[in-house]
Each structure stands twice: as structure tokens, then as C-alpha cells.
Amino acid sequence: MTRRRTPQDDKRLSYTKDRRNEYGENDKSSRKSIRRAQRHVARANRRRATEALATTRGTADTDQGAQAQERLERRRPRRWDKWPDEPLHVSVAGSLHTRLEREGPRSANAARLARLRARLRHPDRT
């Protein structure tokens, strides 16, 4: 028989599994901007390859082909990588830490931050 999750278990799982967009732009715009960035990189790499091969037009010459290949490989291709959103507990801890610096160590946020860290440190305790 499987054990049911308690509300405390659900909250702990939420802190570790849920993510928050911390990129700095609207999270909905990622749908368009990720594709756009990938397109720009691929287009730039295709353009470089086309320019390097443009000198080899005409009769087939292995020497010219080797020179064009060497020109193409001289610079590494452009890259663009995605990175994942922040886990919720990192985002919440950052917010609490910022409030703590602003309000001082005797604020209620110090206790909240301590509870958050304890909750994540000891997953078997509630």
C-alpha cells in the first residue's frame, strides 16, 4: 500500500520541482524569442558557409575546395543555448534574502528564510 503525501510533502515537492522564469523578460515571450534566437544562429552559420564556398564556383578544383573548407573552419560556428528556469526555492530564498537586507535581521523574513532552508535540508521532517 502506498503512503499518501501530506500537505508538507506537497509543499516540499513544490519548492524543488516548480520553476520560475528569472530570465528578465516576459515568460510568454519565450515562445517566440527562443525560436527567433535559434533561427538567427542557424542563419548566420549558413551565411558563413555560403560565403566561404562562394570562391569555389566554376570548375571543380580540390585545392580551392580545401582552402574554402579551411576558411570555414577557421572560426567556430555560432551557438545559442537555452538554460532552465530557476527552482522555486531558489527564487523564494532570493526574495527573502533581499527583504532581509532591506529590513534588517530582526524582521519576520529572517524566520521565513530559516524555515525554508530547514524544510529543504531535512526532507523527512515536517
For residues 79 and 93, state if they share a domain.
Answer: no
63 with 43, same domain: the answer is yes
- Are 1 and 43 found together in one domain? no
Q: Could you tell me if 38 and 74 lie in one domain?
A: yes
Q: Which three cell numbers stand for residue 118?
A: 530547514
Same structural domain, 2 and 34 = no
pTM of the shown model: 0.60
Mean pLDDT, the chain, rounded, equals 85
Residue 72 near residue 52 (C-beta atoms within 8 A): yes
Same domain for 103 and 59:
no
56 to 46, 47, 48, 103: CA distances (angstroms): 16, 15, 14, 68
**Structural domain harbouring 120:** 1-20+86-126
Q: Model confidence over 65-100: pLDDT tens digits?
A: 787 888 788 888 899 998 888 999 999 999 999 999
pLDDT digits (tens, 9 = 90+) for 20-34: 888 777 878 888 888
Q: Mark whether 39 and 57 lie in a shared domain.
A: yes
Residue 124 has pLDDT above 60, yes or no: no
Percentage of residues of the chain with pLDDT beyond 70: 93
Please state the domain count of the chain: 2
